[in-house]
Amino acid sequence: MRTSRFYCALGACLISSLSIFAHAGGVSGQGTWETTLQGRDLDGDFATAEAYYDRVLNITWLADANNSGIKMDWTTANSWAAGLDPYSSGITGWRLPTVMDTGAPGCDGTNAGTDCGYNVQTTSGSPPYPAVTVYSEMASMFHDTLGNKSYLDPSGVYQPDYGLTNTGPFDNIQADAYWSGTEFGIYPDTALNFYFSGGFQIDTNKSYTYYAWAVHSGDVGVPVTEMIAIDIKPRKNPKNIIDLRKDKELKVAIRGSDTFDALQVNPATVKFGPSEASPINFKAQDYNRDGFSDLILIFNFGATGISCGDKVATLTGETFPEPVTSITGSDSFTVVPCN
């Protein structure tokens, strides 16, 4: 039975000894996570994300990177992922992340391999999304999405700022080894794994126990939606009287607060009213003088689809990537004259 050639190669002894919880949190500006991950709801509470869709890899990652809570051997880890129905969502078909076994030399604890070692190949052809070729889903998450560095740089020089310095929006990423679902072709008793402690990918005997992070092919779950406050005809009569004879344009304010930055809403994504009209103009203004900037959107009234008998209209949209969050808000009004 073959064991891993990983241990003690080029400083890997240090990396293999690390098995700690990462408390880095999301580091803005490091990696692409703010633009390439989109929150997905799995438990019916649309204000929270239990998973994140990865636009580059076209897969969905569980938000809890240690959902099982234990280390497992490779066979058990695969069975665990395949049997998941997280949060009783009814979404099955989860798996372990994959690695492309390129057959290239270098799976020997060195810095030179394309599929093994430090700084392995991640993706090609991205952006646009998704990537044309995915070589390692976990390496892409570690290096590209989260912007973390390997123990050695591509030239083989030690990097003092290596490791899991950014965990993005995820919970419980372990600074340790995670199984992939990919067997290592030339040694069928081993499988490939990735060390989130130091950005190292290697083959290891399947009997070893490592962590498992479940992913799902494609985009699953429901986009996370944040409930926001809107005000139809801001600074007008609280009854929001819409006059069919006079109102050619309609202003709608997205209200900012100490918990919501209205200026993070992307006007190009906003839709309003029964006909889902797009705004024809917008501006930033603290219209209610509460100290928080509001986003004032102007719509062509005829395009909104509002008519006699309507009493409530809904606005939807998305925030600018940090990561993208869907928003929705509603306000009431009275339409006159309606005989």
Of the candidates 109, 110, 133, the one whose C-alpha atom is nearest the C-alpha of residue 121 is 133
| Domain closes at, from 168, 200, 222 | 222
Residue at 178 is within a domain? yes
Of 76, 165, 180, which Cα lies nearest the Cα of 120? 180
| Separation CA 81–CA 251 (nearest Å) | 49
Distance CA 169, CA 24 (A): 10
Q: Per-residue pLDDT for the chain (339 aa), expressed as one digit of tens each? A: 334 433 333 334 344 333 333 446 788 889 999 888 988 999 988 778 999 999 999 999 999 999 999 999 999 999 999 999 999 999 999 999 999 887 766 565 455 567 888 999 999 987 778 999 999 999 999 999 999 999 999 888 999 999 999 999 999 999 999 999 999 877 889 999 999 999 999 999 999 999 999 999 999 998 888 889 999 999 766 678 999 999 999 999 999 998 889 999 999 999 999 999 999 999 999 998 999 999 999 999 999 999 999 999 999 999 886 667 889 999 999 999 987
Give the helix ranges, DSSP H, for the chain: 12-16, 33-36, 74-82, 137-139, 301-304
Statement to judge: residues 111 and 211 lie in one domain: yes
Same domain, 91 and 109: yes
- The answer to whether position 101 is within a domain reads yes
Number of domains in the chain: 2
Q: Are strands 225-227 and 326-332 parallel, antiparallel or unpaired?
A: parallel
Query: Do the domain assignments include residue 232?
Result: yes
Alpha-carbon distance of 140 to 24, in angstroms, equals: 18
Pair (62, 166) in one structural domain: yes
* Residues 160, 238 within the same domain: no
For the whole model, what pTM was predicted? 0.73
Rounded CA separation 184/193 (Å):
10
Query: Which residue bears the tokens 């509603």?
Result: 330
Q: Which domain holds residue 52?
A: 12-222
